[in-house]
Amino acid sequence: MKRFPATINRAVTIGGVLWSVSIVFFVSQAIVQAASVSSYSIATNLISDLGNTACGREICSPWHTLMNATFVFVGLCHCFGSIATRQSWPHTSGTFGVGALALAGAGLIVAGLAPENVNVEAHNVGALVGLVSLNVAMIVLGSVIVNVERWLGVMAITAGSVGFIGLGLFLNQARPVPLGLAERIADYPGTAMVVVLGVFLLVSVRRAASIQAT
């Protein structure tokens, strides 16, 4: 049975770093939300509202540039991190998984370059592609490693599954939970799991380096 990561090299290290720094997705949201002029609610407001470039009575995000830049940055981290870590996955299905994550990153980039009030069609397509691909990626990647690193694989599969539940709630017009909360259930578990995978890869690289040094 192959191990995970299957290969440890400089590219995998870079990919681990890129996925790990994706944590800025959550940090920037907290900062931009705190700077919001209007009353912003994580339950009722969309994440995209933080990138809205207009300032009205219901939505006013003065630091929208930071939020949109974060969308693009994290999207790039997902894309290039997926390319860099491709060789670390112990099964060919991993290639499909990281491909799906790269597509999720591309969707996030589109969402950042086309804020919801500037180009709503492009923004919505980018966001939807991003959410679907992110959760597909987590389920596939989790399935690839569940027999090698069980706890990590189960976490990834769970993140993707919960994400799809959130996506279903988000798309359901008669949703039993507020819109903003549904979106976060769809998005946060998978995005957080990307960070976990990145940190795991970096720890594995460090462990391998320590073994070689002894």
Question: Collapsing DSSP states into helix, strand and coil, what is residue 176?
Answer: coil
At 213 the pLDDT is 67
At 214 the pLDDT is 63
Residue positions counted in the chain:
214
- Residue 175 one-letter amino acid: R
Give, for 182, the enclosing helix (H) or strand (E).
helix 179-213
Q: Other CB atoms closer than 10 Å to residue 162's CB: what's the count? A: 18
Name residue, tokens 């969308």: 71
At 209 the pLDDT is 79
Q: Per-10-residue mean pLDDT for the chain, 214 residues long?
A: 85 97 98 92 95 92 97 98 94 92 98 97 97 98 95 98 96 87 97 98 89 69
Distance of CA 111 to the CA centre of its chain: 13
Rounded Cα distance between 101 and 99, Å, is: 5
Tell me the backbone φ, ψ of residue 60, rounded to 5 degrees: -150, 105
- Residue 208 one-letter amino acid: A
